[in-house]
Amino acid sequence: MNDLAKNLVVWLVLAAVLLSVFNSFSPPPTDNSLGYSDFVVDVQNERVASVIIEGLVIEGERRDGTKFRTVLPTIGDQGLMDDLLNHNVKIIAREPEAPSLISQLLVAAFPILLILGIFMFFILYKLVIRYFTGTKPDKRKWGIETYIAAAIHQINCLLLGSYLMYRVYQLDETKLYGKWLSSSFFDKERNELFPEIDFLDQLFVLGQTAEMLTDFILYLRYPAFGRSYCIHHMTTMLCSGSSFFAVVPVGAPIVITTVMETGGLALNLVSIRLSLIPDIKPPKWMFNARLYFYTFTRMLGLFFVVLMTPYLSGTLPQITCMLLIYALIFVNLSWVYTMWKSKFKIKGTSNRSNNKSMNNTSTSYGEKINNKKSKLDTLRHQRNRYHQQKLIDLDYEKEMAGFAD
């Protein structure tokens, strides 16, 4: 553990200790709440001296000096004012306190702050992964950081998407399940039927958008981030982001995304295994299982898209969203085609390589014979030239000897 991590742990422990100390010194809250029916009884029995009404909140003081607090029902009480006046209760009405400018700005900026927070979270955890794994590309021209970050996101999609589908399934009404699949974020009935699920739906869609956008920022440097990945990420961002601006179904895309990201998880887990232990080749069944499961999830996603098409054939934004989803499916199917083509191409290449190796072997053997023949011819030629040169030298010596005589 480095110094930065040690200091961070120390400060966190110190903050926890200080917080517990402050909580121990704070006075316990006094419970002076009173049920509304009990409040009415006290008024009628003339136990209440005065009340302060501020909106639906009523605070008051009894004649014995004790204070209380109650809440007026939302349906109202037409006879309350008569009861208070008839029993000599002092009434003070206050105007509801207007929210401050800062609180108004925070409420208005909360969606933007939430989006920025999710975006920064994705950036930070991907940078942490990069810090520990590095950016060296593998044989597929991807870094191991891309596999790990994608696997984390896909696990999150699998867990959150499964939880959402399970919660809707618990409603035990087919009509409500269909409502969740086909309704948009702008449907008021959806917000009333699924208050908790609707927030998690928005979190799911925001996470998907942030994942694609941060991939663009951090991983565009890798050579494997080509045209198909750009199209995939752009269409995913547009489909996810359009749900916040157009009346398009939300539940069905969440189901499709959950199914397809599960297939991508199988792909990335094998890639992580190959990157961490490159010297030991994984068993063949692992590659086959990855290919079959990835193909199955893409076919299942296409099936859901076809079922969802009737709900995306009304307005122009819906038609645009449908075309983007089909473009996304087309990119995924092209990857499936490439994987199957690579699988069969490897087999064919191995047979061709064997034939080539046999041809190369025979060719190399013939070349060796030809090389030996050429060497022998060269030696014969050099020997003949040597003998000819010897004869020339002898003739020259004879001539010189005769000239000397």
Rounded distance between C-alpha atoms, residue 245 and residue 318, angstroms: 11
pLDDT of residue 397: 53
pLDDT band, residue 20 (cuts 50/70/90): low
**For strand 48-54 and strand 67-71, is the pairing parallel, antiparallel, or unpaired?**
unpaired
Task: Return the amino acid letter for 185.
Answer: F
Q: Which of 261, 251, 289, 249 is closest to 273 using CA atoms?
A: 289
pLDDT above 90 as % of the chain? 8
pLDDT tens-digit map of 124-177? 888 888 888 887 888 778 888 889 999 999 999 999 999 988 888 877 666 677
Residue with tokens 């076809």, as numbered in its chain: 306
C-beta separation of 247 from 317 below 8 A: yes
pLDDT of residue 296: 93
Q: Counting Cβ atoms within 10 Å, is residue 150 exposed (0-12), middle (13-18) or buried (19+)?
A: buried
pLDDT of residue 253: 85
pLDDT of residue 188: 79
Model confidence at 1: pLDDT above 50: no
Q: Which of 36, 96, 27 is closest to 60 using CA atoms?
A: 36
Computed over every residue of the chain, the mean pLDDT equals: 77
pTM score of the predicted model: 0.61
**For strand 57-62 and strand 67-71, is the pairing parallel, antiparallel, or unpaired?**
antiparallel
Task: Return the amino acid letter for 199.
Answer: F
pLDDT tens-digit map of 312-336? 667 777 788 788 888 888 999 998 9
Mean pLDDT of 17-38: 61
pLDDT of residue 230: 87
Mean pLDDT of 255-259: 90
Helix (H) or strand (E) holding 15: helix 3-25
| Bridge partners (DSSP) listed for residue 93 | 53
Rounded distance between C-alpha atoms, residue 36 and residue 73, angstroms: 8
pLDDT band, residue 396 (cuts 50/70/90): very low
Task: Return the amino acid letter for 227.
Answer: R
Q: Map out the domains of the chain with their CATH numbers.
A: 36-93 (3.30.720.210), 112-343 (no CATH)
pLDDT of residue 173: 62
pLDDT of residue 297: 92
C-beta separation of 263 from 270 below 8 A: no
Q: Which of 264, 274, 255, 230 is closest to 339 using CA atoms?
A: 264
pLDDT of residue 151: 92
3-state secondary structure (DSSP) of residue 64: coil
Model confidence at 72: pLDDT above 70: yes
pLDDT tens-digit map of 263-295? 999 889 988 888 888 888 888 888 888 899 999
Rounded distance between C-alpha atoms, residue 269 and residue 272, angstroms: 5
Letter string b/e over residues 297-308, b meaning 16 or more CB atoms within 10 A of that residue's CB: bbebbbebbeeb
pLDDT of residue 96: 66
pLDDT of residue 365: 47
pLDDT of residue 76: 73
pLDDT of residue 361: 42
pLDDT tens-digit map of 338-358? 889 888 875 444 444 444 444
317 compared with 255, residue with greater pLDDT: 255
